Structure 1
């Protein structure tokens, strides 16, 4: 685990990680080789118009694909039911869930399937569908808006972080939302009208916001700024999703902070459910910089960021993923060298929604002895990753590997416990120095201690905690949930 990483690994990694490879077969073939090229070995095959291929994309053929995919690629294939494709009477989607999350909920809370069009929109284009808000319950059990996507219908309607939702389409919100309320708030199809009654606390006056679900472009890095604290300049970045559009926005944000001469960084991952591991490695590099290499390393080599280990059928494909120091995904700026802050310590804000690639940033930095001080709540606990594997009109995301840092640590299925425990503060906007998580980070930076925090508008749980994992995928198709590769 102590060897360096050469650039030859990047070619392999991104071939595996990127979306549809356009292979001809819809039935799960395509071969694949040790470089991660195709088919059952982690690549993607897609026929975009299934109606033109009724035989290749028949229900029976798709069921066969799912069975083969799970048997070959799924990290926990040994615990999957032995149900044959020929003996299954349901849909390919249900077959996939019956072989993964429904069969082994204690091991797998994360595998999911969406349409290939949805996967393309989310990961590559940053396009969301719906009204563009997320909610949490505060300490008093009130349903509060935690996040508003800029430019979304909710934003245009004037809703803000912290607003209390009291009624959804005329139905009063109680201790838990009904299925109808949840569907209306999160799953509305394009053009569907939604009416919300809300209070802008501390006022108890009720206002009404009317909107229609639509598509919109999400902003993966909505805030990057500096904060004056104790006579020095602290950088702050709110990073919500590891999608392709985040790559250059992150590079620009770190470059701005570097020019500003920040002495410390607060990276806000409280709503970041993951995404491309390549972007996680870039973020980690831009934090650590020179610490990702040793003086005797040849050019193009870095220390290990994340070692990916597959099931025993694919152990020959295990490999070390390094710290990526240049732009890869954006074609207009491809190969541009990334800036770095060269920090030895970083503050990261977390909640139970901080997942996967977000956790990989923390784990990867700790693997090379960067001090990571986490503020907030325990992370979601996903040391696993998956590939997008396309078949006909669907994109399947089955857990395929577990990630380990340079010290060999990757066992955090119960989540990462914060250095300072404090709940999300819904009474303040993000980047406000008075906001609970950020204020705690600044206090810890100044004193080395975790301050006591009095709960008022502090969140305790998500408003939709009872939803199944696949429901949450649909709910947060616009960005910051479990739609991740890592």
Structure 2
């Protein structure tokens, strides 16, 4: 069987011709059949998972019996098909929700927060990281740095936080608390919030040029790599250039990732529009890798966003604020710039996600790759969408091994007793970057009383999570 395709990986166009292999599969295992065939073709660790081997089944009956052993599709995906070291592949029972989240559209009240476990129990507390503009939370009396311990009168704990904060409830009421040193005490303040359908977040939270001690410093608080905001990102850099900024603090402390191509554009805005210099190189599983040319596997710095010339600061040094909440495309920018730019990392060790994914659905042509232009071809009996890891990125020096995260040059955690105002020269992490740039700072003490150590966050509980998806055209000829 030969498959000829022009593939846009991610949210894109795809055409393919092949036979339909579903005729011998019962309706009870349609989802499992789709999952196995899609993962057998695209999964990065296909060669390391015995149950995904091409010769795993000698007959259709053996294949059917295998699928029937796991009646729950989600259990089948996570416990049968995934490689043991895979921390990041995920799925959604409704591919539409998955696709919307990859575009930055979700049902949200606009409150972004981290959750921390009390050391002496299973109880949790949350702290507000920031408020999304033009959201429900932006109209309420709640702000960055505030603490909450209760939802609808119930103390948050390790067993109930998902249902209370991320369940089907459109509204909930937070019970707030005070923080004094390392002590958190409930107070009487309550804040009611309502999730809004199709809430779109502009990932550029703050973009401004600060002048400190005669030095013009561009500051960008960037919270997600969304291709739908590429032009706005380029406009922010146009303003930095017009302001005469000679330094950049790139704040990705809460950025869990997103579009690979947007990371390439951002790196070009930081460093260079020289399209002869390699940004990153992809590595796929053996099936896909052998079909791709060197040109197809390599991505170079960009001179345009696709429609407008890129505004670049042409820097040889950049100051990056990143924490354990910084992942995938955030780490990709740091690693992709490293061969060319002195990347001064301030904060904490990043999450360590260097693989990219694509969106797979059960389409009639058996290509499995989602296309917004071919939704009518998706099996109406199977709405599952998969977001498996299908490849790994390496920089121009060939470095890719940061599964344990990228360690900071300057270690500084966020302090729950002094989170500060994002974009203010007095905000501790930005103040530390300014000190590194200018030698002076208005903040004299960087001692952390209570380090922010969230075990999860509101952003990681969305369908998009810390996904990094590839969105580039490839000509692939499968034999």
TM-score normalised by L of structure 2: 0.79
1:110 aligns with 2:88: yes
The root-mean-square deviation of aligned C-alpha atoms, in Å, is: 3.3
- Give CA deviations for 1:336-392 in whole Å, capped at 9, x if unaligned: 11111111110111011111111110111112x211111101011111111112224
1:453 aligns with 2:446: yes
Residue 468 of structure 1 is matched in structure 2 by none
Q: Aligned match of 1:223 in 206, 209, 227?
A: 206
1:76 aligns with 2:30: no
Give the 3-state SS of the residue equivalent to 2:160 in structure 1: helix
Q: Whose radius of gyration is greater, 1 or 2?
A: 2
Higher strand share: 2
1:383 aligns with 2:365: no
CA change 1:61–1:425 in 2 (3 A) is same
CA change 1:286–1:66 in 2 (3 A) is same
Maintained 8 Å contact 2:36/2:81: no
Maintained 8 Å contact 1:359/1:383: yes
The 1-side partners of 2:276 and 2:173 are apart by 52
Residue 339 of structure 1 is matched in structure 2 by 311
Maintained 8 Å contact 1:138/1:457: no
Maintained 8 Å contact 1:136/1:146: no
TM-score normalised by L of structure 1: 0.78
Q: How does 1:176-255 map to 2 (within 5 A)?
A: 177-185=157-165, 187-189=166-168, 192-199=170-177, 205-215=187-197, 216-255=199-238
The 2-side partners of 1:351 and 1:253 are apart by 23
Give the 3-state SS of the residue equivalent to 1:390 in structure 2: coil
Please, which runs of 5 or more residues in structure 2 have no aligned partner?
53-62, 363-381, 471-479
Q: Aligned match of 1:401 in 388, 391, 394?
A: 391
1:18 aligns with 2:10: yes
1:485 aligns with 2:456: no
The 2-side partners of 1:85 and 1:258 are apart by 61
The 1-side partners of 2:117 and 2:437 are apart by 27
Shift of 1:442: 1.0
Shift of 1:81: 4.8
Give the 3-state SS of the residue equivalent to 1:226 in structure 2: strand
CA change 1:409–1:463 in 2 (3 A) is closer
1:314 aligns with 2:295: no
The 1-side partners of 2:27 and 2:422 are apart by 48
- Give CA deviations for 1:391-430 in whole Å, capped at 9, x if unaligned: 2423211111111111111111110000101112442121
- Give CA deviations for 1:10-31 in whole Å, capped at 9, x if unaligned: xx99x433315365xxxxx745
Maintained 8 Å contact 1:378/1:415: yes
Maintained 8 Å contact 1:138/1:458: no
The 1-side partners of 2:276 and 2:135 are apart by 40
- Give CA deviations for 1:223-246 in whole Å, capped at 9, x if unaligned: 101112221110011111112232
